[in-house]
Amino acid sequence: MFVSILLFYVEYAFAQSITLVDNFQNSWVIYSEEQKYNDQFHWDDTSCCTPPQLEIINATSISNYQNTLQVILDGYIIENQDVKYKNLGFQQSGNYTFINQTNIEIENICEKEKSDTESIESGMAQFEIGMINTQSNQKLYLTFQYWFICQYIEFKSPQQIKINFVSSMIIIALIGCFFVWIFTKMAKIRSLKIEIDLNKYPFLNRLIASQQFQLEDQILYFQGFVVNWILYLVYILASILFYVVVHFISAWYEVVMIMCLIFALFCCWFLFNELQCFLSVNLKLQAEVFKSIRVCDCISIFLSVLFVVLYLTLGQAWYISNFITFCITGSLLRLFKVTNLRGVTILYLAIMLFDCIYYFVLLTKVFSVNYQIVVLQYSNYPVLFQIPQFRYNYLKVCVWLSLMDLVIPGISISYLYRFDRNRNSRVYFIIGLVGLFFGIVCWLLGTLSSSKNGIQLPQSIFVYPLIIIFTCLWAIRQGDLRIIWYGQFYDKYLMDNFIVEYNPETSKAQLEKSNLEKEQLTSLMNGLKLEYEL
């Protein structure tokens, strides 16, 4: 939700910046010895997912849905008449004519049979020409790119720009589910052995993830923060803070970027530590170097700084950004936990209510901005999973998923995995992943079908209900609904201190010696599938 609000204020600040003005001239000197490569006609697609500011060739009904680009060269001559023309968006035709050795004319033509469409189709056109430098007699190939738009209707709102479905959407959905699968399997925090004394600091019981049946004489170690109303307050304060930064600080983009990178440093350090503790059997990594600083801490600090520096020096490259987002997602999934399905359902309902107001009212009706386009155009922070599209849309060359679109469902799937470990099964965990995948697919299909009406659909209304419904239906079938709904089971990841394997007989002996009430003890025994003899 915080990422959604963050992006909303960015969209609000730039809602009027997307315009389609046909100001393109028919003749351009786009390459010369003095000018070198003109960035207005070239984009390095390996650098970043921020849409390039290329020239726009707009074809309207006035021009009979066609427009001409004339390429004039200075200091170069065309070696041969071999031109490689490629569409990186919707299908359109292009004819080219060689006027002389330094001049080529490319005519872009829209499909007239689509002139009755209610949206504006767009994409990137690219052509490659073989040339010779007249001074050095060197042969080279120059690639030129530009946006081509078929404006079948009068442009009134960015929502009219059609967003085409591409197969890379399915790929990013699979990658997102794979990430959730990895991090939910790492349910226990291993690198931070922080002892918690709830008797001495009882207020921590509202912040620290622990079960309601926590044994009084058992040492509690930090296993994450519990998701509750206190986090909602923190979230609201953070949203207000971001609003103040955007509207009252001129260098707001740099300020937000610095905040994101500081947060990224911590998350990368934490996740690298967790991976070393999870995968390594070498106890030398846990050796202290100076006071409480360990060898694994030094390695994690080095790696986290390295990736942040690479992110900055490589121009916010999408693959480095994805890796940092990967670390942030993994850290949040491990640092925040829920202890019952009831809390998950309340959380989901609150987010769905917010998203419906945010998408259906604010984005669609009030500000009339295209959420899919604006996000990457002005919010290319390391909080999004991004992969390039195979076919580009106007001002949208990547598909993306917000990390919160994976963290929020992942928190509930992590809870289902811990419940499965209590049952020595994997069914609930798989059900959660299936609900996440099909929810994302339904959202992608729903977004595609709703674009004709200018409606923007939030992912939460597809993903969250499917996870809850699938889980509850299976729990009813197995007779586990009450136990999983209220969290009345022995969660060994929260209650067994740094012990991965669960021993039912040991847990039974501990419970029978405890001072728990009879009803609590019975519920726990039922959750443990143990026979309790009164």
Instruction: Tell me, yes or no, whether 100 lies in a domain.
Output: yes
Same domain, 173 and 105: no
Torsion sign (Cα): 263, 460, 186, 496: positive
User: Do 286 and 188 lie in a common domain?
Assistant: yes
Same domain for 149 and 173, yes or no, is no
Residues 238, 120, single domain; the answer is no
Q: Are residues 172 and 149 in the same domain?
A: no
- Judge if pTM exceeds 0.75: yes
Task: Write out the chain's pLDDT in tens, 534 residues.
Answer: 545 555 545 444 444 445 554 544 444 656 666 565 566 777 766 566 777 878 888 888 888 888 888 877 777 788 777 778 888 877 777 777 788 888 888 888 888 777 667 778 888 888 888 888 777 788 878 788 888 888 888 877 766 777 777 778 888 888 888 888 888 887 788 777 777 777 777 777 777 777 766 555 556 778 888 887 777 677 667 766 766 776 677 777 787 888 889 999 999 999 988 888 777 655 566 667 777 788 888 889 999 999 999 998 888 888 888 899 999 998 998 888 888 888 888 888 888 887 787 777 776 666 666 666 666 666 678 888 888 888 888 877 888 888 888 888 898 899 899 888 877 888 899 999 999 988 888 887 777 665 555 567 788 888 899 999 999 999 998 888 888 888 877 777 776 654 434 455 555 666 566 655 666 566 555 555 444 433
Q: Are 83 and 130 in contact (CB under 8 A)?
A: no
Task: Please indicate, yes or no, whether residues 449 and 398 belong to a single structural domain of this protein.
Answer: yes
Range of the structural domain that residue 240 is part of: 168-502
d(CA 479, CA 332): 31
Same domain for 147 and 181, yes or no, is no
Q: Are strands 384-393 and 396-402 parallel, antiparallel or unpaired?
A: antiparallel
- Tell me which of 154, 183, 206 is where a domain ends: 154
Domain boundary among 121, 154, 187: 154
Domain match, 140 and 256 both: no
Which tokens hold the place of 392?
């580009």
Chain Cα centroid distance, residue 52 = 20
Residue 349 and residue 492 in one domain: yes
Residue 28 inside a domain? The answer is: yes
Distance CA 432, CA 181 (A): 10
The DSSP line for 134-181 is TTT--EEEEEEEEEEEE--S----GGGB-----THHHHHHHHHHHHHH
Domain boundary, last residue among 124, 154, 184: 154
User: How many separate domains does the chain show?
Assistant: 2
The answer to whether residues 176 and 72 belong to one domain is no
Sign of the dihedral defined by the CA atoms of residues 18, 23, 25, 26, in that order: positive
Residue 10 and residue 245: Cα distance in Å, rounded?
11
Q: Residue 395, by phi and psi: left (phi above 0), alpha (psi -120 to 50) or beta? A: left
Contact (Cβ atoms closer than 8 angstroms) between residue 356 and residue 461? yes
